[in-house]
């Protein structure tokens, strides 16, 4: 309980910081909105999914991928924030306080989760304005967003580990993004993975990012008519696979990050 209390106190500290620097949240919104507009209106009529070139079909197919990309790109912010605290010596100040060692990282990742949730809400409203619709009940839609946020929270611990490993916030930002681009583009986020070259198709089908995108599409009712689901197990059971991937990533990287923090603060 004391660890959770300490984590919530530090999460509040990070939320206050975000409130005082609103441009961080604003800039975090601009990129996903640009991706929505770019892919919907520039590429939407030329990318075929489920045997259809309909812009509306592609718009609904696309949005789960944009949502997933948005929550995972928050990884860079988590890493940069922790690297900044390390660089300024704030972590050394926390060491002098009677608090749980892991609370510093948990507080940061929880604050990032709140920011990601707000970004996702705004992005969903923008998507509704341009014509995105869900075709399942509210319970399934909420479950879809919950899976997306779980993936984003798990990835924020990767960002935490990167932030503890590098020496500057700039390096943390670069290190938090450089591996995300191949992860998100070698996936089913923007195109039908069945149309990818063989090697890339297998990577996409077992990609944890793709798994969550597929699960969200099913829960939102956004799979195109005539869409052929790949035979790989994660694509056939995306909801279960998404939870398993996210929990595995969360446990593994949280363990490494807390261990790294203890060494850095020891």
32 band by pLDDT with thresholds 50, 70 and 90: confident
- Closest by CA to 217, choosing from 81, 58, 76, is 58
| pLDDT exceeds cutoff 80 at 51 | no
Q: Please give the Cα distance from 85 to 163 (Å, whole number).
A: 9
What pLDDT, on a 0 to 100 scale, did the predictor assign at position 56? Answer: 79
For range 33-53, the mean pLDDT: 73
| pLDDT exceeds cutoff 90 at 153 | yes
For range 71-85, the mean pLDDT: 82
Q: Which residues pair with 52 in a beta bridge?
A: 49
| pLDDT exceeds cutoff 70 at 45 | no
Query: Residue 226: phi, psi to the nearest 5?
Result: 80, 10
- Which pTM value belongs to this model? 0.89
Lowest mean pLDDT among 83-87, 98-102, 108-112: 98-102
Count of CB atoms within 10 A of residue 241's CB?
Answer: 21
Q: Which residue has the tokens 């583009």?
A: 185
Task: Provide the residue ranges of all domains of the chain, joining segments of one domain with +.
Answer: 2-264
For range 103-122, the mean pLDDT: 88
Q: Please give the Cα distance from 78 to 229 (Å, whole number).
A: 34
Rounded to 10 degrees, what is the CA torsion of 156, 158, 160, 166?
A: -140
């Amino acid at each position: 309980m004391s660890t959770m209390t300490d984590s919530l106190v530090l999460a509040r500290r990070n939320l206050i910081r975000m409130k005082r620097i609103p441009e961080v949240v604003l800039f975090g919104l601009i990129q996903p909105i640009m991706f929505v507009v770019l892919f919907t209106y520039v590429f939407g009529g030329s990318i075929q999914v489920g045997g259809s070139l309909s812009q509306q079909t592609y718009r609904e197919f696309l949005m789960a991928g944009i949502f997933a990309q948005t929550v995972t790109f928050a990884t860079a912010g988590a890493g940069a924030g922790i690297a900044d605290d390390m660089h300024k010596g704030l972590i050394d100040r926390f060491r002098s306080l009677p608090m749980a060692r892991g609370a510093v990282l948990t507080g940061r990742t929880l604050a990032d989760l709140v920011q990601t949730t707000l970004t996702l809400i705004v992005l969903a409203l923008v998507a509704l304005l341009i014509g995105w619709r869900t075709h399942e009940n509210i319970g399934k839609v909420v479950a879809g967003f919950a899976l997306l946020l779980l993936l984003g929270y798990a990835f924020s611990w990767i960002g935490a580990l990167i932030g503890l490993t590098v020496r500057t916030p700039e390096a943390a930002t670069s290190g938090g993004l450089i591996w995300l681009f191949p992860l998100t583009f070698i996936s089913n986020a923007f195109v039908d993975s069945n149309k990818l070259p063989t090697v890339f198709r297998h990577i996409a089908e077992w990609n944890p990012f793709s798994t969550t995108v597929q699960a969200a599409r099913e829960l939102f009712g956004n799979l195109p008519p005539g869409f052929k689901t790949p035979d790989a197990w994660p694509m056939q059971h995306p909801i279960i696979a998404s939870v398993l991937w996210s929990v595995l990533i969360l446990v593994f990287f949280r363990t490494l990050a807390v261990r790294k923090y203890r060494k850095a603060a020891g």
